Each structure stands twice: as C-alpha cells, then as structure tokens.
Amino acid sequence: MEAKAVAKYVRISSRKARLVANEIRGYDYLEARDYLKYINKRAADLILNVLNSAAANAVVSDSSIDENSLYIKKIYIDDGPFLKRFRARARGRASKIRKRQSHITVVLSN
C-alpha cells in the first residue's frame, strides 16, 4: 500500500531542497521525521510537512496501517515555474532575477 503527498509551488529552489531529500531517501518514516527535525536547513521544515501529510494520508486510507511500518519509497523534488523579476543595472540596462519554485513529492509504503 502506498500513500502520496505533494506540495506544489514551494518557494525554495529545487537544488537546495534536493540536498535534504537525498539525506532521507529510503529511511523509515519515524527515523526520517526525527532526522529532519534537527537539520538546520529551511528545506527540512518544508519536507517534514509533506512527509507528515503522506503519513496521515496512509493512516486515513487504511486504518490497519501502523506508522512504525512506513518507509520512504520515493522522494523527489521537481522544478516549478520561475517568478521573473529584474534588477536595474548601470547605463539603463537590466539583469534577470529568477525566483525559483519547486514541487515536493513524497511516497510512503509499508
């Protein structure tokens, strides 16, 4: 049985979020949750919310599932759309600023 949770349009670059996601790939749910609480990165809180949501989805869909038996089957961070901005530069020019977004997906299995 698989349970999935997705957070879309999260305002963090996917490259930064993947650093945290790679650390917990394949862990048990409880172990990953404890690990994410003590990582000093902004992406850890965002991924923790999605992880808890996937666990809640698993329990709601099948009440016989125990949280202790869940593990992270898949976790991936996809690129979202850019917020395109510009910064004024010298001599009337402008340079691009791309504010990146990402989509966080967590799949749990037992």
Positive or negative torsion for Cα 45, 9, 21, 24? positive
* Full-model pTM: 0.90
For 56, the domain range is: 2-109
Please give the distance of CA 77 from its chain centroid, rounded to a whole number. Answer: 6
Q: Give 1's pLDDT tier (boundaries 50, 70, 90).
A: confident
**Tell me, what's the pLDDT at 109?**
95
Give percent of the chain above pLDDT 90. Answer: 92
Structural domain count, the chain: 1
State pLDDT tens for residues 28-64.
Answer: 999 999 999 999 999 999 999 999 999 999 999 988 8
CATH code of the domain containing 63 = 3.90.470.10
Average of per-residue pLDDT across 4-19: 96
